[in-house]
């Protein structure tokens, strides 16, 4: 038993570090995009269309990851695409987290009609296929960054709400919450000082997970051509384009896909690692 626990701890350490390294790279790429990308991500040059990556025969020096059918540099587009991904991850992730957690805590702590109403809403939301819901919302709200973020918040708050509600409900049954009530603390204060700290590790793990999901949703919307305007480089848009030309130029699909893969994986693993490290029960 002791051994098993130790090895889990060690594995979570490696996970945490590896994902932190990639996320740092991701954030740096997004922040420094105009300075570090070798080319203008929008510059088209049909003479340089579908150049393979640097290590493949027929490559042009300077275009490390090749170019797409319009001759745009894949590496520069990935670096610039990280900007949108980061904005969506941070803003949509945080907003979703705040809305969902707040509703979840209210439902789980105050119970009564608020709980019934919120739980019913969650049920209804769970009966929608989320991707279809997102596409529908974008169709109604119009494309653009704000719409994408709004759509993610509207769809995904239930993810937080369900978990936080259940967790709050569990915590509310604990003795220390009961004694806080007996001690005469107000309900709000009990919620803030007794319950929130115990639910927080879960919320944080969910938050990083949600950031990864937000990036994916943006990519999916870009993929069906419903996200940001088409001249902004996004990973999803690149993937959509790469999907149509996989047999001619696999690199147009592979590299943004790898970036997306690593980012989503890192967000999830980072959150899990954090929770394992900071959960008062596991610790």
Partner 1 sequence: MSGFLEIRGLSARLAGTGQRLLRSVDISLPAGCVRGLVGESGAGKSMIGKAVLGVLPKAVEIIEGEILLDGQDLQKVSPAERRRLIGAKAALIPQDPLTALNPSRRIGPQITDRLVDILGWTKARATTRALEVLAEVSIPEPERIMRLYPHELSGGMRQRILIASAFAAEPKLIVADEPTTALDVTVQKQILKLISELQARHGTALLFVTHDLGVVSKVCDTLSVLYAGKVVEDTTVERFFAAPQHGYSSALLAATPRHTDPSSSLKPVPHEVLETVAAEIAASDAAWRPNGGARG
Partner 2 sequence: MMLLRQTVSRLVTTLITLFGVAVIVFVVIRVVPGNPIAMMLPPGASEADIERLKTLYGLDKSIFEQFIIWFSNVLHGDFGTSISTRQPVLSLVLDRLPATLELSIMALVMAVAIGGTLAVLGTRFRGRKTEAGIDVANGIGLSIPDFLWGLALILLFGVLWPVFQISGRVSPRLELPFTSQFYLFESLLRLRFDIMADLLSHMFMPALALALPLAAIISQLLKLSLKETVNLDYSVLARTKGYSETKVILSEALPNSILPTLTLVGVQFTFLIGGTVIIERLFSYEGLGNMAIDAVINRDLPLIQGIVILFAILFTFVNLAVDMTYAFLNPKLRHA
Residue whose structure tokens are 């896909």: 257
**Min dist. Cβ of residue 246 to partner 2 (A):** 5
Residue 1 in the binding site for partner 1 (CB under 8 A): yes
Q: Which of 103, 200, 211, 268 binds partner 2 (CB under 8 A)?
A: 268
- Between CA 160 and CA 258 the distance in angstroms is 28
Q: What is the DSSP letter of 98?
A: H
Q: Tell me how long the chain is.
A: 283
Residue 264 to residue 273: CA distance in whole angstroms: 14
Considering only residues 175 to 204 of the shown chain, the ones binding partner 2 according to CB under 8 A are: none
**Interactions with partner 2, residue window 22-61 (CB under 8 A):** none
Contact status: 2 vs partner 1 (CB under 8 A):
yes
Number of residues that bind partner 1 (CB under 8 A): 3
* Interaction of residue 259 with partner 2, rule CB under 8 A: no
Total residues in contact with partner 2, by rule CB under 8 A: 49
Q: 177: closest CA among 202, 197, 161?
A: 197
Q: How far is the CB of 43 from partner 2 (least distance, A)?
A: 26
Near partner 2 by CB under 8 A: residue from 18, 166, 257, 279: 257
- Candidates 3, 61, 127, 247; binder of partner 1 (CB under 8 A) is 3
Span from 83-91, 117-125, 169-177, 196-204 in contact with partner 2 (CB under 8 A): 117-125
Return the exposure string of 237-260: e unless at least 16 CB atoms fall within 10 Å of the residue's CB, then b: bbbbbbeeeeeebebbbbbbbebb
Of the candidate residues 42, 70, 135, 204, the single one contacting partner 2 (CB under 8 A): 135
Region binding partner 1 by CB under 8 A among candidate stretches 1-9, 96-104, 120-128, 172-180: 1-9
Tell me the C-alpha distance between 46 and 72, whole Å.
9
Q: Does 254 bind partner 2 (CB under 8 A)?
A: yes
Q: Which of 264, 274, 275, 276 binds partner 2 (CB under 8 A)?
A: 264
Check binding of 129 to partner 2 (CB under 8 A): yes
Q: CB burial class (10 A; 0-12, 13-18, 19+) of residue 234?
A: buried
Burial of 112 (0-12, 13-18, 19+ CB in 10 A): exposed
Alpha helices of the chain — where are they, by DSSP H?
2-31, 33-36, 74-87, 93-110, 112-126, 130-141, 145-172, 175-182, 187-190, 196-223, 235-244, 250-278
- Minimum distance from CB of 91 to partner 2 (Å)? 20
The residue range among 33-41, 182-190, 195-203, 218-226 that interacts with partner 2, by the rule CB under 8 A, is 218-226
Query: Among residues 56, 117, 139, 174, which is the contact residue for partner 2, using CB under 8 A?
Result: 139
Nearest to 260 by CA among 250, 272, 268: 268
What are the residues binding partner 2 (CB under 8 A)?
Answer: 3-4, 7, 11, 15, 120-121, 123-124, 126-133, 135-137, 139-142, 209, 212-213, 216, 219-220, 223-224, 226, 239, 243, 246-247, 250, 253-254, 257, 260-261, 264-265, 267-269, 272
């Amino acid at each position: 038993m002791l051994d098993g626990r130790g090895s889990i701890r060690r594995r979570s350490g490696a996970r945490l570090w590896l994902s932190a390294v990639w996320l740092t790279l991701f954030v740096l790429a997004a922040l420094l995009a105009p300075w570090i990308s070798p080319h203008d991500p929008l510059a088209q040059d049909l003479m340089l269309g579908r150049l393979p990556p640097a290590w493949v025969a027929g490559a042009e020096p300077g275009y490390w990851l090749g170019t797409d059918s319009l001759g745009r540099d894949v590496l520069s587009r990935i670096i610039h695409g990280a900007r949108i991904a980061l904005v969506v991850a941070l803003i949509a992730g945080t907003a979703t987290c705040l809305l969902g957690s707040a509703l979840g805590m209210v439902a789980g702590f105050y119970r009564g009609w608020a709980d019934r109403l919120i739980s019913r809403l969650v049920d209804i939301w769970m009966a929608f296929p989320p991707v279809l819901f997102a596409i529908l919302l974008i169709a109604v709200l119009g494309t653009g960054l704000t719409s994408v973020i709004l759509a993610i918040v509207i769809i995904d708050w239930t993810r937080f709400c369900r978990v936080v509600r259940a967790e709050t409900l569990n915590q509310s049954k604990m003795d220390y919450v009961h004694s806080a009530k007996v001690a005469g603390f107000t309900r709000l204060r009990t919620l803030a000082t007794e319950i929130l700290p115990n639910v927080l590790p879960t919320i944080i793990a969910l938050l990083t997970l949600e950031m990864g999901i937000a990036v994916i949703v943006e990519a999916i919307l870009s993929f069906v051509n419903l996200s940001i305007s088409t001249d902004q480089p996004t990973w999803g848009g690149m993937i959509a384009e790469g999907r149509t030309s996989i047999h001619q130029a696999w690199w147009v699909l592979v590299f943004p896909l790898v970036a997306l893969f690593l980012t989503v994986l890192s967000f999830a693993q980072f959150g899990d690692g954090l929770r394992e490290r900071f959960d008062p029960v596991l610790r």
